[in-house]
Amino acid sequence: MTETFRDVRIKRHRTADATVTLTLDGEPLIGREVELEQTRHKFLFGCTGFEFADLANGTSADPERDARSAEQWEGLFNFATLPFYWGRFEPERGKPDTQRLLQTARWFADRGHPVKGHPLAWHTVTAPWLLDLDNEEIARAQVERITREVGDFAGVIDMWDVINEVVIMPIFDKYDNGITRVCRDIGRIPMVRMVFDAAREASPNATLLLNDFDMSAAYECLIEGVLESGIKIDALGLQSHMHQGYWGEEKTEAVLDRFSRYGLPIHFTETTILSGHPMPAEIVDLNDYQIDSWPSTPEGEARQADEIERHYKTLLAHPLVEAITYWGMGDAGMWLGAPGGFVRADGTPKPSYDRLHHLVNGEWGTPATTIATDAEGRLRFNGFLGDYRVTCQGRKAEFHLDEPGESHLAAAIA
Amino acid sequence: MTETFRDVRIKRHRTADATVTLTLDGEPLIGREVELEQTRHKFLFGCTGFEFADLANGTSADPERDARSAEQWEGLFNFATLPFYWGRFEPERGKPDTQRLLQTARWFADRGHPVKGHPLAWHTVTAPWLLDLDNEEIARAQVERITREVGDFAGVIDMWDVINEVVIMPIFDKYDNGITRVCRDIGRIPMVRMVFDAAREASPNATLLLNDFDMSAAYECLIEGVLESGIKIDALGLQSHMHQGYWGEEKTEAVLDRFSRYGLPIHFTETTILSGHPMPAEIVDLNDYQIDSWPSTPEGEARQADEIERHYKTLLAHPLVEAITYWGMGDAGMWLGAPGGFVRADGTPKPSYDRLHHLVNGEWGTPATTIATDAEGRLRFNGFLGDYRVTCQGRKAEFHLDEPGESHLAAAIA
């Protein structure tokens, strides 16, 4: 296979040339065959995990089906996003759905997958009972809500989309809601400061994101104002729902170019690429497109697989991108009924599933491989950043590749 | 004529119910007829005045024609915008066109018309020689340029579009230029701070504007960031070039609603409404539309007159709007060759000229009117805010209506 310019950059930013000196009982392990395997990517290959709440809570109607689904999920992903939409999490004030979601988050965490909560503040699907409060009370309820969730989930969820879609928040005019009222009243930057301060105080070491779908200069201006005001953002969240067609490399790279100017880590937080017909270009708010059936087609699935590969490669080639979260593994229950999953509604994988599986685990992964140490007991290989395990006669060593470039490590087999 | 909701608001925000007690030689002027006349509007009815440089400098090729043109200009306007495009003002470094422009500005100021300079910083038509400098030198040259112009013109020009089109400035990609380089390097808000600090220091009492064509949330976000950073903006400049069709009341009011949230005075800085066919909607950058001839048509002129009236009325009905600057009185030499003037290329007035003339001087003005004082020597009338003169037997008094609502004044005829 010939390497593209993009592949070269992926290798440069995502892999290390490792030299690992292995020892066994204090002696260098010279000229021995061992089994080397990458057990985890440093890069966050993420997906929503909303559908595993039943399985995690022992309330599944079909545990076998859900277990198969979980296996599919872990075949591609190592990072989950769970829903904290206030209107669903706490439809009645004072009765939050904490236990069930905590159990779901632990289910992922126990499998070694970090979890992100999405979102702590948003004008859409927010608590309807905010409308009964005055603006000061709404702001207080919002802050208390953040303090509570970030505190309750600390240690299980340590990454949050703190606030979602601030660009449109104060001018959102589809329906009245408490969050738009407050944001319009106090302004975008004081709003961001208020919610970030609350989250930061509740969990000083958590990773806190600002997230938006608006890829225009508006989001740039918002970010610049927020940063200029001294608010610390740990990562920028960029949505990329492509219901109206794949962006292509040029647009994606232009977006990366513009949003990398701040030197902040970038998460592609919400990605959708369809395997059916695209939504018409004249639709402005994606929510306005409602059809009875939106089928996944063979041609669409072939195209989707190619576009998924192109999108992931474009993003991995940029050094500031640390995470890609796909917005739904399966077509079943997908936002807007769109055929955007890796898995069809009947549970069978699409070509995109196999394609990404090959990339993540094959082209970019190191499956269990037999490899020999040299005369000084050294293992030399090029591997993607992440966690590795070496096995020799049933005994193991583990090590991590954390930074691209040359990496010299030692590992004792025990 | 029936009064519309808009007319009612114009009256509420733009007029005063004046009671003026007149005295002559220390005695109340009881039961006497006097002549009352508004000599100047408080509202700034502005226009570009680029074309009067020759007349003002005594270099006119046709002084009679230019004098007629000046008379037309003063029939509608009381506020001029003059060009400070750096690339034209100082095409060769160190040789600014100061004297000629100062003479032009004085010509307006001597006639009682305040003048605004446009713009002090902009990526378009900027000095080409900036490209030979490194970013630090460009920034220094920009600051020195501002210090020089604001200082040189102080007392004649005390209002400035300090910086133009910051939303697009760092991502402008049509051609390389020094200002985009610096803005991309240091960020939008530090750029705004740098140029405002320079202008403020050079003339602490000048009125300093931020100006943009981008009416989207991007400009809101920029403004919020700038204000949050503590930069003092005296007025917000909103462009309204309508080459692709009149906005209509709904869009204009939505723009006013969004940009009035900051409580800052609003200037509509650049207004164009055509009396010919509209530019096709698919053109994104207006500069891309280049045609050989763009005629003004009878139907277009009738429509333009109506739209001009609607636009001015919509703006005067909003209390925060303090100025409307039309972007060119005549079709001759208009930007893009568009038929957007009040006056045709042959110098004859269009219906829009007569319409605005009637509004400014008739419906909203007080032409010389005979009116009688009451038994206490009081003159009672409702008039638009601005300057007034009372004449009685060749002797005069002057007074000003500054605030809407009830106004009680005294004036001595001398």
| Topology at the third CATH level for domain A3-38+366-413 | Immunoglobulin-like (2.60.40)
Tokens (6 digits) for B129 = 């020689």
Q: Are A169 and A123 in contact (CB under 8 A)?
A: yes
Question: Which is nearest to B147 in space by CA: B90, B181, B196?
Answer: B196
Is B214 near chain A, with CB under 8 Å? yes
User: Of B185, B194, B228, B284, which to mutate for an interface test with A (greatest number of A Cβ within 10 Å)?
Assistant: B228
Say whether the ipTM exceeds 0.90.
no
Please, what's the b/e burial string for A182-195 (b: 16 or more CB within 10 A of its CB; e: otherwise)? bbbebbbbbbbbbb
Pick from A218, A222, A229: CB nearest B229: A229
Helix-strand-coil split of chain A, %, nearest 5: 40, 25, 35
What gap in Å lies between CA B404 and CA B203, rounded to an integer?
30
Is B196 near chain A, with CB under 8 Å? no
- Whether the pLDDT of residue B1 is over 80: the answer is no
pLDDT in tens, B109-122: 999 999 999 999 99
Q: Are B366 and B39 in contact (CB under 8 A)?
A: no
Is A233 near chain B, with CB under 8 Å? no
User: Which residues in chain B have their CB less than 8 angstroms from residue A184's CB?
Assistant: 261
Cα A365 off chain centre by: 18
Per-residue pLDDT of chain A (414 residues; tens, 9 = 90+): 567 889 999 999 999 999 999 999 999 999 999 999 999 999 999 999 999 999 999 999 999 999 999 999 999 999 999 999 999 999 999 999 999 999 999 999 999 999 999 999 999 999 999 999 999 999 999 999 999 999 999 999 999 999 999 999 999 999 999 999 999 999 999 999 999 999 999 999 999 999 999 999 999 999 999 999 999 999 999 999 999 999 999 999 999 999 999 999 999 999 999 999 999 999 988 989 999 999 999 999 999 999 999 999 999 999 999 999 999 999 998 999 999 999 999 999 999 999 999 999 999 999 999 999 999 999 999 999 999 999 998 999 999 999 999 999 999 999
Q: How far, in Å, are A41, A75, A132 from residue A72 at the CA level?
A: 17, 5, 44
Q: Are A209 and A234 in contact (CB under 8 A)?
A: yes
**Interchain CB distance below 8 Å, B184 and A261:** yes
Tokens (6 digits) for A296 = 């996944």
**Interchain CB distance below 8 Å, B224 and A258:** no
Cα A129 off chain centre by: 30
User: Which residues in chain B have their CB less than 8 angstroms from residue A183's CB?
Assistant: none
Maximum distance among all alpha carbons in chain A? 75
CA distance A229 to chain B (A): 6
| pLDDT, mean over chain B | 96
Tokens (6 digits) for B397 = 């008094």
Total CB pairs under 8 A between chain A and B: 74
**Closest chain A residue by Cα to residue B217:** A218
State the Cα torsion B109-B114-B115-B116 to the nearest 10°: 160
The domain ranges of chain A are 3-38+366-413, 44-363
User: Of A171, A221, A226, A233, which to mutate for an interface test with B (greatest number of B Cβ within 10 Å)?
Assistant: A221
Angle between helices A298-316 and A248-259 (to 10 degrees): 30
Pick from A217, A228, A261: CB nearest B218: A217
Residue whose pair of structure tokens reads 């020999």 in the numeric block: A372
Average pLDDT rounded to a whole number, residues B157-175: 97
**Interchain CB distance below 8 Å, B228 and A228:** yes
What gap in Å lies between CA A405 and CA A76, rounded to an integer?
25
Amino acid identity, residue A338? A
What gap in Å lies between CA A382 and CA A15, rounded to an integer?
7
What gap in Å lies between CA B118 and CA B162, rounded to an integer?
7
Q: Is B239 helix (H, G, I), strand (E, B) or coil?
A: strand
Q: Are A236 and A259 in contact (CB under 8 A)?
A: yes
- Where does the pLDDT of residue B347 fall: very low under 50, low under 70, confident under 90, or very high at 90 and above? very high
What gap in Å lies between CA A338 and CA A88, rounded to an integer?
22
DSSP per-residue string spanning A193-242: HHHHHHHHHH-TTSEEEEEES--SHHHHHHHHHHHHTT---SEEEEEEEE
**Interchain CB distance below 8 Å, B228 and A190:** yes
pLDDT in tens, B241-300: 999 999 999 999 999 999 999 999 999 999 999 999 999 999 988 989 999 999 999 999
CA distance B230 to chain A (A): 9
What gap in Å lies between CA A161 and CA A207, rounded to an integer?
9
Is A222 near chain B, with CB under 8 Å? yes
- Whether the pLDDT of residue B397 is over 70: the answer is yes
Q: Is A410 helix (H, G, I), strand (E, B) or coil?
A: strand
Amino acid identity, residue B335? W
Question: Which is nearest to A326 in space by CA: A304, A294, A293?
Answer: A304
Tokens (6 digits) for B273 = 């409404």
pLDDT in tens, B49-73: 999 999 999 999 999 999 999 999 9
Whether the model clears a pTM of 0.90, i.e. scores above it, the answer is yes
User: Which residues in chain B have their CB less than 8 angstroms from residue A168's CB?
Assistant: 217
- Where does the pLDDT of residue B222 fall: very low under 50, low under 70, confident under 90, or very high at 90 and above? very high
**Interchain CB distance below 8 Å, B217 and A168:** yes
pLDDT at A333: 86
CA distance B172 to chain A (A): 11
B44-363 maps to which CATH number?
3.20.20.80
Phi-psi region of B117 (alpha: psi -120 to 50; beta: other; left: phi over 0): beta
DSSP per-residue string spanning B303-316: HHHHHHHHHHHHHH
Tokens (6 digits) for B270 = 């650049």
